[in-house]
Amino acid sequence: VRKEGSPVPYQRYINEGYFKVKQSPSRYYGVNFVQTYVTAKGVSFIDRKLEEYGGANTLNAMRMKEIEHIA
């Protein structure tokens, strides 16, 4: 999901504690700047998800069209 042009995780994953999203005003564009942070719990979640699909090395070797159906 994108908010003000920046990727923002689904609210479900924020509520589960995997990510934190902070907003701050931009001095130049008159909109909020959105910054997404991955928590330690989120890193573990991402690592488990990568392992479900063969690990990071396997996914890195795949083409985007092959990965898109996974999400």
If you compute the radius of gyration of the chain from its CA atoms, what whole number of angstroms results?
15
Residue bearing tokens 């908010």: 3
Answer with the residue of higher pLDDT: 41 or 60.
Answer: 41
pTM over cut 0.75: no
Query: Could you read off the pLDDT of 8-20 as tens digits, one per residue?
Result: 899 999 999 999 9
Structure tokens at 36: 């997404």
